Amino acid sequence: MSPVQVKSRQDRLLGAIQLSTMEGVEIGPLASPIVRRDAGRILYADHASTEALRRKYEGHGWDTATIVDVDLVLSSQTLSGALGDRRVDFVLASHVIEHVPDPVSWLGDLRQALRPGGIISLAIPDKRFCFDAKRPVSTPGELVDAFLSRRTTPTVKQVFDFWAYYCQVDTQAMWNCDIDAERLPCSGTLQNALQKSREAVASTSYTDVHCWVFTPRSFLEAAATLAELGMFPFQLADFSSTPRGDLEFFVSLRCVEDGESEQERALRAQSLRAAALEAASAPGPSRPPPPAPPEPVTPPEPPAPTPPEWAEATLRLGRPLYRTLAQALPGVRTLRERLRPWL
């Protein structure tokens, strides 16, 4: 039997994408693009220009000169707006969706930037194994709220929760269940979280926090709910649950064309829910099996009772004589009962 091949991170992101025939956009590549220009037809998009990004990350401990040249600046426009009439076959976004104030509208815009049947491939942090470990998962209702509100910045609650529950996490220890997330100390203070929230309210610019908190199962269940509501025009093209020892999972979405019937939409939602259940059954954090319980010990037989001295003296008369006396003299029955254990 051949050994099981472990997929690389790039393989998980590109599983539904053919670089040899497709053209795409990668959002937020910085210095570590998933697809380099010599590997395929790729455009790089980010919230700021190359020069602005290099200034922003100066002094963060790495060579900012390695940041790739940005082709599409998204600070004041959507991806579809930046592309104009141009359309691409795929969009890659690693650790981006959790920062987006309104994911439903954002995914809808990416869909507008794609050719029919195009692919959106996402790498998403699994909250169980990163600094979001103490935060509750985001609900479909919160995503609907963001969509109907056309939200463009994080809520005060999202900013406060991000800073209030931020914690340092040893990913491998979390996988081994050596750490209980409930007992993890928070890295910041409530006063700092309140101050960050006040700054966000006063600011007119975007505040960079994790707006959304997902696990593989919670993301797919939310996608299924949104699909039922007609707010998620995608089907699952590829999916990879969080690999053991890692902190991210991978979702590839294929665009669904307009004109879908209610029955088709229901089937698509059902398929997403089935994928969510499968994600829930994937291997997860687990302790080593407990040691087998010890074999039961059979207690030794209790020793035979030792007759008292007066009984020994009586018994020396001989059992035959005793039986005769017991039958002839009813008055010795009490003695017989006391001596029964040794007869």
Cβ 86 vs Cβ 39: under 8 Å: no
CA distances from 82 to 78, 125, 177, 194 (A): 6, 27, 45, 36
CA proximity to 172, closest of 253, 242, 259, 237: 242
Locus of tokens 């294929």: 254
pLDDT in tens, 140-182: 999 999 999 999 999 999 999 999 999 999 999 999 999 899 8
Give dist(CA 343, CA 340) in Å, integer: 5
Q: Token digits for 321?
A: 């004589």
CA proximity to 106, closest of 132, 135, 77: 77
In the predicted structure, residue 85 carries a pLDDT above the cut 60: yes
Q: Which residues contact 92 (CB under 8 A, 6 or more apart)?
A: 13, 24, 25, 26, 27, 34, 35, 121
Q: Which pLDDT does position 120 carry in this prediction?
A: 98
Is residue 282 very low, low, confident or very high in pLDDT (cuts 50, 70, 90)?
A: confident
Phi and psi at residue 231, to the nearest 5°: -115, 10
CA proximity to 285, closest of 130, 172, 131: 172
- Which of 107-116, 202-211, 241-250, 281-290 is the least confident region? 281-290
Cβ 343 vs Cβ 337: under 8 Å: no
In the predicted structure, residue 320 carries a pLDDT above the cut 70: no
Locus of tokens 């380099």: 36
Encoded amino acid at 78, one letter = T
Is residue 303 very low, low, confident or very high in pLDDT (cuts 50, 70, 90)?
A: low
Is residue 291 very low, low, confident or very high in pLDDT (cuts 50, 70, 90)?
A: low
* Helix pair angle (190-202, 156-165), 10° resolution: 150
Give dist(CA 343, CA 341) in Å, integer: 6
Give dist(CA 337, CA 100) in Å, integer: 91
Q: Which pLDDT does position 83 carry in this prediction?
A: 97
Do the strands 23-27 and 88-94 form a parallel or antiparallel pair, or are they unpaired?
Answer: parallel
Q: Alpha helices of 249-295 — where are they, by DSSP H? A: 262-281
Locus of tokens 């979702």: 251
Give dist(CA 80, CA 86) in Å, integer: 8
Beta bridge partners of 90: 24, 119
Encoded amino acid at 6, one letter = V
The residue that leads in pLDDT, 34 or 333, is 34
Give dist(CA 53, CA 76) in Å, integer: 15
SS3 state of residue 121 = strand
pLDDT in tens, 115-125: 999 999 999 99
Give dist(CA 324, CA 141) in Å, integer: 95
In the predicted structure, residue 335 carries a pLDDT above the cut 80: no
Locus of tokens 């990879």: 240
